[in-house]
């Protein structure tokens, strides 16, 4: 069975390692998306909190970004399943690994679980948000 590990990270701490030994996967850069972390009301929150989600979704920029990510990852997941691969990593990075990347990783994990159900396993990990 294919296991997709979806994670968020901060570019300040470097790219995440791939524990599966495959040497990586997708790394999506969220830093071009408007950063809620630059504003006081959001500084102590992260991408799982409703005010941050609303901030990111208001202009639709992150939704369009994720649509492109979904298309790329779905194509690989379909191919990995058909070829019998066991692991794929999908990482989202931003400046602090707190707002945009966390939101994106949560959205991707949810998308994959809804689309593929029990066909794949999905692991979600936020490196900077223990």
Cα separations in angstroms, 5 against 18, 56, 75, 108: 9, 23, 16, 10
Per-residue confidence (pLDDT) for residue 93, from 0 to 100: 98
Q: What is the pTM of this model?
A: 0.96
Cα separations in angstroms, 15 against 23, 24, 106, 115: 11, 10, 18, 27
- Tens digits of pLDDT across the chain (130 residues): 999 999 999 999 999 999 888 877 999 999 999 999 999 999 999 999 999 999 999 999 999 999 999 999 999 999 999 999 999 999 999 999 999 999 999 999 999 999 999 999 999 999 998 6
DSSP 85: -
Edge-to-edge order in the sheet of strand 26-29: 26-29, 87-94, 2-10, 120-126
Per-residue confidence (pLDDT) for residue 47, from 0 to 100: 98
Cα separations in angstroms, 95 against 50, 61, 67, 119: 20, 17, 21, 33
Per-residue confidence (pLDDT) for residue 24, from 0 to 100: 77
């Amino acid at each position: 069975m294919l296991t997709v590990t979806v994670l968020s990270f901060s570019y300040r701490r470097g790219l995440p390692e791939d524990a599966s030994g495959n040497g990586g996967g997708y790394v999506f850069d969220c830093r071009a998306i408007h950063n809620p972390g630059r504003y006081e009301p959001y500084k102590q929150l992260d991408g799982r909190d409703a005010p941050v989600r609303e901030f990111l979704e208001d202009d639709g920029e992150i939704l369009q970004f994720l649509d492109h990510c979904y298309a790329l990852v779905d194509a690989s997941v379909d191919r990995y399943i058909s070829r019998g691969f066991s692991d794929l990593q999908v990482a989202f990075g931003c400046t602090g690994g707190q707002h945009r990347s966390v939101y994106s990783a949560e959205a991707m994990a949810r998308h994959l679980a809804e689309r593929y159900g029990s066909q794949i396993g999905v692991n979600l990990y936020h490196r900077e948000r223990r």
